[in-house]
Amino acid sequence: MQTINKTNLDTSNRELVISRTLNAPIQLVWEVWTQPTHIKNWWGPTGFSNTIDTMEFKEGGEWNFVMHGPDGKNYINRIIYIEIIELTLIRYKHVSFPYFNAEIRFTAQGQKTHLEWKMVFDSEEELKNTIKTFKADEGLKENLIKLESYLKQHLISFESK
């Protein structure tokens, strides 16, 4: 009989986590996360833009895109969706470097949405290297700032539907 090593279950030393309560209803937040026409406009740190090649938003589907950095560099990204629960959860694997698993949880709070975004790396060293090389911690914060700004721009048109 194999015993489970509980230290392997604890991922806290290799996680990058951010949460925020967004001033937008969960339906709008979900829409801008799941539609390529929206996500391409806010995804990534400040100064980045995106070209989406494919976005098959379904379990097992792929999202292939290029992030164009303000320094002129292109960053190829490939994501495989693992689990999707509408208006609740998106889990995916980032299968291009840097490698990690991500989980985004959406919780309705009246006309607001609480979002928790967790990225789990294979090791603490990989997390540290990703933060050092790509400034992933700052980039994640900037990503949410861009999301908040995008939601604010689209809230009025969404409410008038």
Q: What is the pLDDT of residue 156?
A: 74
Q: What is the pLDDT of residue 143?
A: 96
Helix and strand tally (H, E) in the chain? 5, 7
Q: What is the pLDDT of residue 3?
A: 43
**Residue 24 CB neighbours (<10 A):** 24
Amino acid at 42: W
* Among 38, 34, 121, 119, CA closest to 85: 34
Q: What is the pLDDT of residue 80?
A: 98
In which residue ranges of the chain is pLDDT below 70?
1-8, 159-161
Structure tokens at 37: 């026409």
Structure tokens at 9: 């279950």
CA 108 to chain centre: 18
Q: What is the pLDDT of residue 20?
A: 97
Asked whether the whole model's pTM tops 0.95, one would answer no
**In the chain, what are the domain boundaries?**
16-46+85-159
Q: What is the pLDDT of residue 8?
A: 59
Q: What is the pLDDT of residue 161?
A: 61
CATH topology for the 16-46+85-159 domain: Alpha-D-Glucose-1,6-Bisphosphate; Chain A, domain 4 (3.30.530)
Considering the chain, what is the average pLDDT of its residues?
93
Q: What is the pLDDT of residue 9?
A: 81
Phi, psi angles (nearest 5°) of residue 121:
-100, 165
